[in-house]
Structure 1
């Protein structure tokens, strides 16, 4: 089975990874972790593969822009005249800055040390238990909700979520999971934390994609254009479906199901790595 996956055409691998990216980017289950695991399974590894997995996140970002195009257009139109638009844009900028600082300081070391399946599996499991703990606090009424919509956030709230997002530099943690669960800990409603996570994804994913494309530009050639185009398109449409579904899901559900999925998936990876039934080093 593994041999068949490794033998897939390059564009088929790009499409698979695009779907994986789109479906997992905004769920608290770690898109980077799933991309590392999926890439290992289909034999798409190396520096160019790592860059591809980062760049196609831009496709997921465009899905958020399309879904929230009205709100984004209103913010851009009112950036110089409306206090609401100015405060919203400033909060997104404030939340984005910590990821830039920590990413530039530790990004290369983290990629060299942790961008492998087993560390991802461990992070998935740990993150799953963190989600269960936060949801338990919510059910017991230990985390009072102060903020019910993103327009009620202060600059301090934005900074806290930006710092929470930095944990997602560890592959397997989940960018959306870190911001959503962090937001719930800091007093945001589940819906407000989820929506702000979407908006924060725009500068974060664009910044990461542009930075990696520039950093590894010597690896690129004209022959790579179809591969990247396929990955971006599949990431866009799968992410658009995911965002549409998730924003409705959080109105009536919590994240415990995602937590148990993380734990189970992480244990499967560790078990198959320990027994040698799957070669996760490929």
Structure 2
């Protein structure tokens, strides 16, 4: 490969991280994130104490049931963010991410005030524990893991591995293949900035899968394998926890509203419900 082409390829690869770093991000700065974390810890502690220590505290009182309903609505903001992001319509992703963090923190405090007034060694208690694990993992990723990944991907291509002529040629082949696919997958997209989303998957599943394979191959060639594995594992674990939590919440809501008699176990139903089936 001519030296000029190699330099252009080097610049194209390294320039992606530079351009991303230079673009203004209007999400939560580190100081604000630390403040949110501190308020979250204080709020969770107060909610736990209110559920465990206040006399007569039960999760089905009008106040605590209302807190649970509002908290659940807030906790579904991240679900909306995930769907919007994967649909390709998240034009203000940093703002959505800020809403993700703030809504999750507020919702967790409200749901905790509801959950800790009940039996934590029950299925609803397990759903609450899944929520705490989700919060802890998300904060750890944002505060700790993101620094490691950002430092790695902001470096030049030479920081990932030796850039010899053979590597340049293989990278050039992969990038040209990605650009060729983009002509059919998304003609207006820029290969250096493009990432397939849910819309592409629904419209062109085969092309999207092929493009994702090429992107993964490119990441391995430039030496991002280790960081990519850490990030992929963390994201998949976070998504798995989120799915379990959402399914648990939906199951809990259906049971307490429509099968209140079953949930009460023969005792009087002391919360607002639609029906008392299963009693």
Structure whose alpha-carbon radius of gyration is higher: 2
TM-score, length-normalised on structure 2? 0.30
TM-score, length-normalised on structure 1? 0.30
